[in-house]
Structure 1
C-alpha cells in the first residue's frame, strides 16, 4: 500500500498520484507538489497504480489528478491512461503524462489520444509543474461540479414530476420527502398543512417509519409551521433547535435540531415544511439549499389543488352519506339489505345511489349512477333521488318513472346522463316490474345455486330516447333479487361481459341470505376499487 506525503492544509488542497518507476524522480516531483500544498500518493508501477486506485474508488476518495510517466516498465503510461478512461468511475480522473526521454509531437499526440489532459516534459521548473497540476485540478473540479449540478437538477426535476403526479396529500408529502432525502443525503420529513388544520406528513425511506414518540408531535409541528409562516409567502429557511423540535422524526426517540425550509403559495394558503436533521458541525452547500427551496415551492404549488379537491370530496361524501341512509324503511313482506362503499381517498367522487320507497302498489327499489366523477355528479345524484321520491307518490310504475327522470335531466341538466334500474315489487304476489336505463341488469339468485340476469334493457337517462315497456318477472320466496352499480365489477382492461359472468358465478356460490350475498360479493370484488359501490338485495319474506 502506498504512503501519502502530508502537506500543509489549504482550502484548495488536492491529492496527486505520481506514477513513476524511478524513485528519485518520484521524490523530486513529490517534493515540488508537497511544497505547493498538495498531498502526494507515490506509486512505482502501472499495476500498483491500478490497485491503489481500486482501493480508493471503493473508499470514495480518488485522487484529484494523476501524473503518469509514459515509460513505465510494466505498461506504458498511454495504456494505463486508456484503461482508466475506459472505467466510468475513473474516467473523470485527470491524467498528466510526463517524460524525460521524449517530448516530441508524436508523444504529445499519443498522450492526448489516450485520454490524457496534458503533457509535461521533465525536468521542468517547479512553477510549471505546479501550474500544470493546478490547471488539471481546476478543470476536473469544474467538470465534476457541472456533472454534479446536472445530476442534482435531474433529481429535482424527477422529484417535482413525482410530486405533481401525486393523487393525494399523503402521496405528495412522501414524494417530496424522498426527493429531499436524495438531494441532501439525510433523512427527511415533509409536512403539508391544510386550511382546516389537518397535517399531512411524508417521510423518506432512509428514515424509520415509526410514529413519533411524543404524542403531541404533530400539534407541535403545526404550531411551528403556523408561527414561522405567519404573514409570509414564498420560501424561507431556518434551523429549529432540538428542544423546540419534536423527538423522533428523524431517529426514533432521538432529539434532533431540524433544518427546515418553508414555502407558501403566492396567496399564502398552503404552508409546506421540508425538514432534515441540522448538523451542528457543518452547513449544507448553498447549491443544495437552493434546490431544496425550489422543491419546497413546487410542493406548495402542487399541494394547493390537492387540498382543494380533498375539501370538495369531503362535501360530496357528506352529501352521499346524508342521502343514502344505512337504515331502510320498514317494508312488510320484504327483507331488504343495502351496502354503500365510497371509493378510496385517491379516487374521484362518484354519483352512486340507491333508494327503497313504499308506494301504493308495492315497494320501489332503485339503484343508479350519475355518469362522471365530480361534486356535480354527487349533487345531481341527490336531485334524482329526491325526484324519484316525489314522482313515485303519483305513479310508481317503473316505466313512467324512467321517462319522467329522463325529462328532468334533459330540462335541468342537459349535459348530464345517468343509469338507473327501477323495480316495483308486490310483496304479496312476488310480481316485479323492472325498467332499466343503461344500468347493469338485476341478478336473480336462487337457493339452488342458480343465478341469472333479468332480461331488461333501455337507454341512459338524459338522452331523450324511446324506452321499452318494463319487464315483468315473478320472484319466488327462494329468490334473492340483487341490483349493483358498475363500481363493484368494472375493471379497466377487462371486458364488461367477463366481469358480469364473474359476478353471476360469485352470486350463485354465495351463502344463503341477502346480507350474506352482499357481503360475499363485496369481499370478492370490492377491495381497492376506483369507483363507488352500491348494492341492494331483497327477498320475499
Structure 2
C-alpha cells in the first residue's frame, strides 16, 4: 500500500444507493478510488476476489445498519481472518451515533466511527488518518520481518562450514530481501571465485568460465583501493548475461563489500530492473548483509588455507607405502574428514624392530594445524624411541613425558602393539585410545582388554596387555573417527564395530574395506585403520 494516503482505494459498503452515490462522489473528488457495494455479503465476495488478485482496498467504509449483517459483525469477520485482518475499517451511521455504538465499533476492531451527515472535511480527514495509520503499521511490520530475515541470513552466513554454503546463504538472503534473483561472489586472494545462487533463479546451465572470469575482473576493478561497502550498476554489455535469468543479458546492481583490513571482496548482485520494485530499506539491509558476508568470509578462507597446509603436512609424513615385514601382512587405510569438517591429528605407524613388528594408531586431541604438527612429532618420537627400547609400555611413558615437556597443553591417544611374528605373542599398551579388535576367520571378534590414561597427563600407566595371535587372527587398530557419532553412546558404536568386523570376509584388506564401507561415509573426523595378520 505505497503511495499518498489521499490516493487510496476505499470499499464503500452501504445498502442505500443515494448514500453510496453521495459518499462515493465526495471520496472521488478527494482523489480516492471507490468500490461501492450494497451489502455485507457483496463486500465479502468482492474482498475474496481481490485477495485472489493480490490487491486489497486500503480501507473499508462500512454502514452499521446493513440489511444482511450489521457493520460490527462484518468488521469482526474481517479482523478474524489473517488475509484481511490488517484492512482498516471505519464505521458510519446516520441513526446510531451514541457512545455505546462508538464503543461497539471499536470493540469489533474498527479504527474509527463517523456520524453522518458530517462535514466533507471531517469525512476526508478520518479516511486519511485511518489509511495513514494502517500504512504505518504495515510498514513497521514489514520492516520487522525484513530485519528478522536479515538476522537469520547473517546467522546462516556466519555458521557456514565452507565457502559454497556461505555464498548460497548470502544469495538466498539477498533474493528474499529484494524479491529478485540474486548471485553472490567471493573473490579469494589466490584468485579463486566462489559463487552462490538464489533458489528463485530458473534452474538451467550457468554462464561459462569466461563469464566468471569477467565477473572476477569487474570485482577487482570496483574494489581496488576501497574498503567498506560500495554500490554500482554495471550495464548489460559489461555484465555477463545468464546469472539472473538463463540466456538473458541485463544490467546488474552490485553491492560490494571489503573489510577494513581484508583482502577478500564480496559482491551481492541483483538485476538492476528490480530496484524500482524493491522496498526503500532493502538497499540498506543488503549493504549490511554484504558487510557481514565479507566479515564471515575472511576467517573461513583462512581456515581453508590452514586446512590445506595441515592435510599436506599429514599426507607428507604419513607413510605412503608400508615397509616389507617378513611373516606379517599389514594393511592401512587413511580417510580425511569431509571438506566441511576440521582437520584432525590422526596417524598410524608400522616399524621393524629387533623384537618384532611395532604398530601404532593414535589421535592428537583437537582439530587444527597445531594438532597435525603434534601428530608428526609423536610419529617421529615413536620411531626414534623404539631404536633403544621397543616395549609398548616404555614407549607410552616416554611419549607422555615428551608431550608434557614440549606441548604441555596438548593431549593425545595412542595404542601401541609389539608383535613377534615367530610366536604370535603381542604386547599392547593403550593410552586412552579405542582398544584393538582381534578378528578371527571363524566369525569371532573380541576387544583386547588394554586401557590406560591419555598421553600428556603424567599419570601412572598399567603394564602392557599380552595376547597370543593365531595365524588366522587379524589385529585391527582404528581411530574413533570411524565410529564416533554425535548422540550415540560409544559403547553402542564399539559393539556395532565388533559385529561388523566379525561378519567381514577373510583377509586384512577386505576387513578394512568392509568397515570403511559400513561406517566411513561423510564422517566429521579423520579415519585411520591398521590391520595386521601373521603369515
Partner of 1:337: 331
Query: Are 1:476 and 2:470 an aligned pair?
Result: yes
Decide which moves more: 321-330 or 209-218. Answer: 209-218
Partner of 2:68: 74
Cα separation, partners in 2 of 1:412 and 1:211, compared to 1, 3 Å:
farther
Partner of 1:104: 98
Residues of 1 paired with 2:394 and 2:275: CA distance?
A: 80
Q: CA deviation at 1:176?
A: 1.5
Aligned runs of 1:373-452 on 2, under 5 Å?
A: 373-452=367-446
Equivalent of residue 143 in structure 2, options 132, 138, 149: 149
Partner of 2:57: 63
Equivalent of residue 26 in structure 1, options 20, 27, 38: 20
Structure 2: tracts of 5 or more residues without a match: none
Residues of 2 paired with 1:465 and 1:110: CA distance?
A: 80
Equivalent of residue 496 in structure 2, options 497, 502, 525: 502
Partner of 1:317: 311
Partner of 2:530: 536
Residues of 1 paired with 2:274 and 2:497: CA distance?
A: 62
Decide which moves more: 428-437 or 61-70. Answer: 428-437
Over residues 59-109 of structure 1, what are the superposed CA-to-partner deviations in whole Å (9 max), with x where a residue is unaligned?
A: 221101111111111111122112212222212211122222343333323
Query: Are 1:305 and 2:292 an aligned pair?
Result: no
Over residues 415-474 of structure 1, what are the superposed CA-to-partner deviations in whole Å (9 max), with x where a residue is unaligned?
A: 211111111223333332222212111111111111112222222211222223323333
Partner of 2:128: 134
Partner of 1:296: 290
Partner of 2:47: 53
Query: Are 1:369 and 2:363 an aligned pair?
Result: yes
Q: CA deviation at 1:329?
A: 1.9
Over residues 191-247 of structure 1, what are the superposed CA-to-partner deviations in whole Å (9 max), with x where a residue is unaligned?
A: 222222222222222224555132323322222221111111111112222232233
Residues of 2 paired with 1:61 and 1:283: CA distance?
A: 16
Over residues 297-333 of structure 1, what are the superposed CA-to-partner deviations in whole Å (9 max), with x where a residue is unaligned?
A: 1111122222222122111111111111332222232
Asked if the contact 2:178–2:279 (Cα under 8 Å) also holds between the matched residues in 1, the reply is no
Residues of 1 paired with 2:136 and 2:193: CA distance?
A: 42
Partner of 1:204: 198
Decide which moves more: 428-437 or 147-156. Answer: 428-437
TM-score (norm 2): 0.95
Residues of 2 paired with 1:256 and 1:244: CA distance?
A: 9
Residues of 1 paired with 2:143 and 2:436: CA distance?
A: 62
Asked if the contact 1:250–1:276 (Cα under 8 Å) also holds between the matched residues in 2, the reply is yes
Partner secondary structure for residue 52 of structure 1: helix
Residues of 2 paired with 1:198 and 1:334: CA distance?
A: 47
Aligned runs of 1:161-310 on 2, under 5 Å?
A: 161-279=155-273, 282=276, 284-310=278-304
Asked if the contact 2:5–2:128 (Cα under 8 Å) also holds between the matched residues in 1, the reply is no
Asked if the contact 1:214–1:246 (Cα under 8 Å) also holds between the matched residues in 2, the reply is no
Q: CA deviation at 1:491?
A: 1.6
Asked if the contact 1:326–1:338 (Cα under 8 Å) also holds between the matched residues in 2, the reply is no
Cα separation, partners in 2 of 1:168 and 1:140, compared to 1, 3 Å:
same
Residues of 2 paired with 1:310 and 1:181: CA distance?
A: 27
Partner secondary structure for residue 88 of structure 1: coil
Partner secondary structure for residue 90 of structure 1: coil
Cα separation, partners in 2 of 1:370 and 1:209, compared to 1, 3 Å:
farther
Residues of 2 paired with 1:90 and 1:494: CA distance?
A: 49
Partner of 2:7: 13
Cα separation, partners in 2 of 1:298 and 1:522, compared to 1, 3 Å:
same
Partner of 1:113: 107
Cα separation, partners in 2 of 1:412 and 1:210, compared to 1, 3 Å:
farther
Asked if the contact 1:188–1:274 (Cα under 8 Å) also holds between the matched residues in 2, the reply is yes
Q: CA deviation at 1:142?
A: 1.3
Residues of 1 paired with 2:275 and 2:381: CA distance?
A: 70
Asked if the contact 1:438–1:457 (Cα under 8 Å) also holds between the matched residues in 2, the reply is yes
Decide which moves more: 459-468 or 441-450. Answer: 459-468
Partner secondary structure for residue 259 of structure 1: strand
Partner secondary structure for residue 365 of structure 1: strand
Decide which moves more: 28-37 or 324-333. Answer: 324-333
Residues of 2 paired with 1:252 and 1:520: CA distance?
A: 45
Decide which moves more: 284-293 or 467-476. Answer: 467-476
Asked if the contact 2:262–2:298 (Cα under 8 Å) also holds between the matched residues in 1, the reply is no
Residues of 2 paired with 1:61 and 1:253: CA distance?
A: 32
Partner of 1:488: 482
Cα separation, partners in 2 of 1:320 and 1:466, compared to 1, 3 Å:
same
Cα separation, partners in 2 of 1:444 and 1:32, compared to 1, 3 Å:
same
Structure 1: tracts of 5 or more residues without a match: 1-8
Residues of 2 paired with 1:120 and 1:163: CA distance?
A: 52
